[in-house]
Chain A
Amino acid sequence: MSSVLEIRNYTKSYGGHVKACDNVNLTVEAGDLYAFIGHNGAGKSTTIRAVVGVLAFEEGEIFIDGHSVKKESLECKKLTAYIPDNPDLYENLTGIQYLNFVADAFDISAEERDSLIKLYADKFEITDALADLIGSYSHGMKQKVALIGALIHKPKLMVLDEPFVGLDPKASFILKEIMRELCESGSAVFFSTHVLDVAEKLCNKIAIIKGGKIIAEGKMEDLVGDKSLEEVFLEVTDHDK
Chain B
Amino acid sequence: MISKRLLLLELLIKSRSGLNILRHSKDKSRRGKVIGEAIGFGMLDIVLLGFCILVSLLFGFNGYPEMIPMTAASVVILLSFILTVFRTNGYLFNFKEYDMLMAMPFSVKDVVSSKFLYMYYRTDIFVVFLSLSMLAGYCISGNGSVISAIVWIVLSFFLPIVPMILASAFGMLIAKVGSLFKHKVIIQTVLTVILVMPAFFMNYFMNRLFANGDVSEAAMKVAGVSGKVGSMLPGVNAFTKSVIELSILHMILIIAVSVVLFEVFFYIVSKFYRQLNSKLSAKTKHTKYVAKKSVKRTVAASVAYKEFKRFTGSANYMSNVVIGIAMMFLVSIGLIIVNFKIPIKSVLYDAPFSMTMVYSAIPLIVYFMTGMVATTAVTPSLEGNNYWIMKSLPIDPKDDAKGKMIFNMWVELPVSLFATLVITYFSGAGFVQILLNLVLMTALCVFSTVYGLVCGLKHRKLDWENEIEVIKQGMAVTAYIIPHMVITMVVGGLSFAVSYLVDPRIVSTVLILIMILLTFLSYLRVKSLIKKGA
Contact = CB atoms under 8 A, between A and B. Distances in A.
Contact of B97 (A49, A56, A88): A88
Nearest to A91: B463
Nearest to B106: A105
Contacts of A133: 20-21, 24-25
Contact of A73 (B14, B16, B96, B108): B108
A77 interface: yes
A92 B7 contact: no
A143 to B, nearest CB: 13
Nearest to B19: A92
B27 A136 contact: yes
B21 A20 contact: no
A89 interface: yes
B286 A77 contact: no
Interface in A125-139: 131-133, 135-136
A74 B105 CA distance: 5
B278 A93 contact: no
A8 interface: no
A93 B20 contact: yes
B110 to A, nearest CB: 9
B17 A78 contact: no
Contacts of B99: 49, 52, 54, 82, 84, 88
Contacts of A218: none
Given A55-B278, A89-B100, A135-B463, A106 B11 contact: no
B41 to A, nearest CB: 17
B103 interface: yes
- Sorting the interface of chain B by its residue count into under 10, 10 to 19, 20 to 34 or 35 or more gives 35 or more
B96 A88 contact: yes
Nearest to B7: A104
Interface centre among B26, B107, B277, B284 (most CB of A within 10 A): B284
A40 to B, nearest CB: 13
B274 interface: yes
Contact of B16 (A54, A92, A105): A92
Contact of A105 (B7, B285, B465): B7
B391 interface: no
B104 A131 contact: no
A196 B465 CA distance: 34
A62 to B, nearest CB: 13
A91 B463 CA distance: 7
Contact of B24 (A18, A20, A132): A132
A173 interface: no
B282 interface: yes
A68 interface: no
A87 interface: yes
B310 interface: no
B346 interface: no
Contacts of A94: 20, 24
A237 B303 CA distance: 39
Contacts of A89: 97, 100
B34 to A, nearest CB: 10
Given A15-B284, A18-B286, A105-B4, A131 B24 contact: yes
B15 interface: yes
Interface string B84-102: 0000000000001111101
Given A14-B284, A87-B100, A92-B16, A78 B24 contact: no
B275 interface: yes
B278 A56 contact: yes
A47 B98 CA distance: 17
B274 A56 contact: yes
A93 B282 contact: no
A240 B461 CA distance: 48
A20 B284 contact: yes
Contact of A92 (B17, B107, B274): B17
A71 to B, nearest CB: 13
A15 B282 CA distance: 9
B24 A84 contact: no
Q: Nearest 9 CB-CB pairs, A to B? A: A90-B15, A56-B274, A82-B103, A14-B284, A77-B105, A52-B103, A56-B275, A78-B105, A56-B278
Interface of B: 4, 7, 11, 14-17, 20-21, 24-27, 96-100, 102-108, 274-275, 277-278, 282, 284-286, 463, 465
23 contacts: A14-B282, A18-B285, A20-B284, A52-B99, A52-B103, A54-B102, A54-B103, A55-B274, A56-B274, A73-B107, A74-B106, A78-B105, A80-B103, A90-B97, A92-B16, A92-B21, A93-B20, A97-B14, A105-B7, A133-B20, A133-B24, A135-B25, A135-B463
